[in-house]
Structure 1
Amino acid sequence: MAGCASLQGRSGAVSTTSPQPLARVDLPAPDPDHDLLTQLLAGELALSDSDLKRASQAYGKAMVVSKDPDVAGKATALAIATHNPVAAQNAINRWQALGASPSQLAQARAELAIEQGQTDEARQQLTILLASGDKDAWRMFGRVLIGSRDPALASHLLETLATPDKLPPDPKAWLAMSQLGEQLGRHVYAQQIADEAMKRFGTAETYAWAAQLKLDNGDKTGGLSLLREAQGKDPTNIGLRLTYASLLGQSGQYAQATQLLEKGPQNAQTYAMRAALAANAKDDKALAEVYKQLAQAPADVRDSSAYLLGQLAEVLDRKEDALKWYDQVPDDDDHAFDADLRSAILLQSLGRSAEAHQQLAEMQTDYLDQPAQLRRAYEVDADLYMHEKRYPEAINAYTHALQVVPDDPDLLYGRGLAYAEMGKIDSAVGDFHRLLQIKPNDVDASNALGFTLADANRDLPEAEKLISVARAAKPDDPSIADSWGWLQYRLGHLDQAAEVLRAAWQSGKDADVGVHLGEVLWKAGQHDQAQRIFDEVRRIDPHNVNLQETIKRLQP
């Protein structure tokens, strides 16, 4: 260091413009066409854009400079996929040079031969593949055929090479070939291989597949018979029991399906199907038994079935228990959103409306970036407000939902009803008109608009036209009959109004229909009959607001 210092002193100041030693080194820029990394990156980017042709070109260049056989293998697959036989043959040759296995080469050559319609070459290469000794040879064989653009040729090769005398002593291979035949539309071949596999191996899986084919081809009796045999061979096989029970249930044999599932090991799926069978059979006793057993099941089964437990508790009118189960549904569960919705509805039914709306408010925040769920949360919120007759809040919730899904027919209908209940007739009519623009033949919207106009005693010709359309579509609907009867009352046709409304009242004993009938009878001078109807309405719905307002108006 001292020497350097003395040299610097003798030569004077060092020039600041003198170039550094590496400043003059010229690095050669790689040729992109021959740079492996560049081409691999280009190929993957093309694949991410689903541009197979560009990806094939990139991998074709990459395999030339790469010594990795996997690169050449991918180049081969892409060249075949893009129907480029010249590039495919070059890629196969390169792949062979880099050490591809005989089975891999035979598979690729078979795919190329099928692509070119060369039946003999394809058969020869598939024969080489099956004789290669590769443990995955039959799986590779199946991949060649299922990926073919020529189903007829693929079917011919399947039936020629995958025969009972050539298939290996492995039931999975037999099932795979039978399933492949079914996919290719060779139903007779598929059934023959399935039946032979069932005879040779006698496993539950072979019986189940042979049965499924019979069922798919319309042989219900034969299919169920085989499933019964399969289940007998392996009574602890849960998947088999579920399949057999499902088919029995579809046939309406709920009791037999239930008995089958009650025996043997249980898991979340068996409990779920047992519950579904009991519900279809309207068997409350069976539902209660499933609920009892599932509530006492091992923790893993119980935890994964929290939503089902909540549903069962709800059906059994155990609302507090249902709330507890719904609360245990994990946030990442597929039913988490539905569990929260059901909880809100239950809270409202238990008289805990503030908690219900708080729950829905939290959901509206949690699902802000998920429009379908957000819309549903607002809609349920609005429905609960409607049930509570808090119409301004209902309108607000429907409006928020419509901001998420503009012109949604169900939301327009709900908000229209809320406006009508509030007496905002113009707004109600606007929503119903908009709904009918979107769905011109919507019967419920026609009825709602017609009733709203009739109830407001305005535009009665339009109301008559709308309700007539609804009556023609649903002549036995009590709510539409109520609208028609009320319209007749507004038109001054008291006898006709009373006749229509009396029939609607008798068919369902709806409180609001009763109020309308009572008013018509009162106006017709039949006060005693009207009073009897009002008394019956009061027993059905003691707090009916329409009844209170009507009596106050008729009997000031």
Structure 2
Amino acid sequence: MKNLVWISSSLFAASALRLFGAGIVVATMLSACATLPATSTHTSNINEPLTHLQVPAQSPDQDVLLKLMSAEFALSHGDVDSAGSGYLDAALISNDPAVAAQATQVALAGKHWDRANQALSRWQVLSPNDAGILQARATLDLVAGHSDAAYASLLELVRLHPDGRPQQSNGWQAVGLTLLSASDKKLAGDLLQRLATPEQLGKQGEIWVAISQLALKLDRSALSTQLADQAVTRFHTSEAYAWAAQLALRADDRKRAKTLYAESLQHDAKNPRLRIGYAKLLSDMGENAEAARLLARGPQDDLIYSARAAYAARASDKKLIEALYKEIEALPAPRPSERLTLLGQLAELLELKPEAQRWYGQVDEDDDHYFDAQTRIAILLDQQGKGADALELVHTIQARAGDDRKALGEAFQLEAELLNHQDRRPQAVDAYTRGLKALPDDTRLLYGRALLSEELNQTANAEKDLRRVVELKPNDADALNALGYTLADRTEHKDEALGLIQKALSLKPDDPAIIDSLGWVQYRLGNLVDAVKSLRRAFERQPDAEIAAHFGEVLWISGNKDEARKVWAEGSKQDGKNKSLLETQHRLGA
């Protein structure tokens, strides 16, 4: 609708300039005549100055202007039907093709096909060579199901050569817009299949890629892949390689995607888009160290540095992290805040806490990264045994946050987490409560307080906060899962718990934590077979200590004690001090 209003405004302004002068004269004369007294035909006086005045009839131009004004007003108020009617009336009496074009477009937008045909016919009479006529005609033929007629118009649109120069990209763009707007997706796909030949696509690689993307949107995946592969073979452009690799990934063919990215870098080794795409693929395949090494080759910028840091951290490769740290540290000043923050993060990964604190401390207080930098400093202070200093800094951060709800909420969260880390859980609950006084119904604070209340065995408080979170965010999978798990583990509302967890799983079908909760509630309901099945699935996806505690217990109760011990042992490798794991083994005498 916004585009239509803009077009109509431009059109109206142009037409108004042409018609305004005549309109003023006529309007003025009509206004004067409207005040004349009535005169009897029997007593006319030839000497009266107004006796022979001829009131002119309203000119066609004036009529067009009024109709355009009426249509413009209707369109600006969202009344497409009245606007279309007004534009068509104006088009039928105007000799301006722009009026007919506007009438056609408005009618098409409103899906008034008969009106669109009338306006289009007028447009063709006034300016038969306008390219827009082909697009409009193809749209109407698509609506009527006239495949061959639509094909003829679209083909002519692609072949337009104004001023002797190929304008294929513009023609194909119009074709794409027309086919994407078609209600019959199959017919649109059939037409694209006929149109997308090497002859029509020409010698511009970007067109091949664009039409391949269009084919995918029209559910022609085979055509999309075929065009992408040919674009790679014919043009060897980075766009072609990147798109072909994306299609390969979509088909879950990582091997081919990897080959395509490797080939692409042989043609364009410095292209950042290709390097980043290839590195992401390597990371998805678990080759994080190789992804970091790949990005280390070629031009560098802060985005590349950040990606290298992320992949090196995922690989837990200290050598890569240290090399990157030294490389960035050696760069000349001045250092932007993004780089200072990254240096601080790398120093933390290398356990150089004083250095990390120094880098974070150089971020200017007026910079967008200042809040995050100060947050990291508070955490570092706490880790170095300076808990009081850390909390003092957090209170300063809270005061600086002012009315920034996001920053203020995060500052209260940080205070609570620091207090919890210092084994001051009641004070941590108080921090959440103070935060909620400043930010009522803040779901982050409610959720955090609920989890902490559960740790303190304050089940009623935890349940109350989690129910409020679910009330505020009914489709929050994590909140649904937390409430469901709490009800299953701590209350008798196990049927309700099952429903909540099932809803959470429908929102996040592959989330290991939710699958673990499903297995646990099934266990609590006495469904041991289903519980083992769900917990095994969760443990295969994420073999952490928490899931190991649940899975091992269900196996133990089911009589599979040897397997239970193996599961617990694997969980202990991940976190040998996990409270749930230790408590479970102790309670079961294992």
Q: Which category of TM-score, normalised to the shorter sequence, fits these structures?
A: 0.5 to 0.7
Larger mean Cα displacement after TM superposition, 217-226 or 243-252: 217-226
Q: Which residue of structure 2 lines up, in the alignment, with residue 376 of structure 1?
A: 410
Q: Deviations over 1:304-350 (max 9, x none)?
A: 445434432332334454454476389785x6765554444345445
Q: Deviations over 1:21-79 (max 9, x none)?
A: xxx97999x99993645543542342xxxx75566556656767988766654543342
C-alpha displacement of 1:157? 1.0
Structure 1 residues 204 and 433, CA gap change in structure 2 (3 angstroms):
closer
Q: Which residue of structure 1 lines up, in the alignment, with residue 404 of structure 2?
A: 367
Q: Which residue of structure 1 lines up, in the alignment, with residue 256 of structure 2?
A: 222
> Which among 198, 207, 229 is matched to residue 164 of structure 1?
198
- The residue identity in structure 1 corresponding to 2:255 is T
Q: CA–CA distance in 1 between the matches of 2:392 and 2:491?
A: 34
Q: CA–CA distance in 1 between the matches of 2:372 and 2:576?
A: 31
C-alpha displacement of 1:129? 0.9
Q: Deviations over 1:331-379 (max 9, x none)?
A: 785x6765554444345445223442234313542414x5xx5443332
Q: Which residue of structure 2 lines up, in the alignment, with residue 240 of structure 1?
A: 274
Q: CA–CA distance in 2 between the matches of 1:42 and 1:298?
A: 61
Partner SS for 1:404: coil
Q: Which residue of structure 2 lines up, in the alignment, with residue 102 of structure 1?
A: 130
Q: Which residue of structure 1 lines up, in the alignment, with residue 325 of structure 2?
A: 291
Q: Which residue of structure 1 lines up, in the alignment, with residue 512 of structure 2?
A: none
Q: Is contact 2:394–2:414 with CA below 8 Å preserved after alignment?
A: no
- The residue identity in structure 1 corresponding to 2:230 is E
Supply the RMSD in Å over aligned alpha carbons. Answer: 4.7
The alignment's TM-score, normalised by the length of structure 2, stands at 0.62
C-alpha displacement of 1:126? 0.8
Q: Which residue of structure 1 lines up, in the alignment, with residue 213 of structure 2?
A: 179
C-alpha displacement of 1:433? 4.4
Q: Is contact 1:76–1:92 with CA below 8 Å preserved after alignment?
A: yes
Q: Is contact 1:181–1:189 with CA below 8 Å preserved after alignment?
A: yes
Gaps of 5+ in 2: 1-30, 36-61, 471-479, 493-520, 540-544, 554-570
Q: CA–CA distance in 2 between the matches of 1:361 and 1:314?
A: 24
Q: Is contact 2:391–2:418 with CA below 8 Å preserved after alignment?
A: no
C-alpha displacement of 1:106? 0.7
Q: How many residues align?
A: 443
Matched, 1:34 2:62: no
Q: Is contact 2:88–2:103 with CA below 8 Å preserved after alignment?
A: yes
> Which among 231, 235, 244 is matched to residue 197 of structure 1?
231
Q: Which residue of structure 1 lines up, in the alignment, with residue 440 of structure 2?
A: 404
Matched, 1:258 2:286: no
Q: Which residue of structure 2 lines up, in the alignment, with residue 462 of structure 1?
A: none
Q: CA–CA distance in 1 between the matches of 2:125 and 2:398?
A: 66
Q: Is contact 1:268–1:301 with CA below 8 Å preserved after alignment?
A: no
Partner SS for 1:132: coil
Q: Is contact 1:447–1:480 with CA below 8 Å preserved after alignment?
A: no
Q: Which residue of structure 2 lines up, in the alignment, with residue 77 of structure 1?
A: 105
Gaps of 5+ in 1: 1-23, 451-465, 485-502, 521-556
> Which among 310, 313, 328 is matched to residue 363 of structure 2?
328
Q: CA–CA distance in 1 between the matches of 2:324 and 2:34?
A: 76
Q: Is contact 2:71–2:84 with CA below 8 Å preserved after alignment?
A: no
Q: CA–CA distance in 1 between the matches of 2:269 and 2:296?
A: 12
Matched, 1:434 2:439: no
C-alpha displacement of 1:189? 1.6
> Which among 88, 92, 103 is matched to residue 116 of structure 2?
88
Matched, 1:231 2:259: no
Q: CA–CA distance in 2 between the matches of 1:236 and 1:266?
A: 10
Structure 1 residues 118 and 267, CA gap change in structure 2 (3 angstroms):
same
C-alpha displacement of 1:110? 1.0
Structure 1 residues 115 and 222, CA gap change in structure 2 (3 angstroms):
same
Larger Rg: 1
Q: CA–CA distance in 2 between the matches of 1:286 and 1:410?
A: 37
Q: Deviations over 1:393-444 (max 9, x none)?
A: 53443224445326775244256369x5xxxx9xx45413425766686445
- The residue identity in structure 2 corresponding to 1:241 is R
Structure 1 residues 331 and 443, CA gap change in structure 2 (3 angstroms):
farther
The alignment's TM-score, normalised by the length of structure 1, stands at 0.65
Q: CA–CA distance in 2 between the matches of 1:321 and 1:70?
A: 67
Structure 1 residues 32 and 144, CA gap change in structure 2 (3 angstroms):
closer
- The residue identity in structure 1 corresponding to 2:154 is L
Partner SS for 2:219: coil
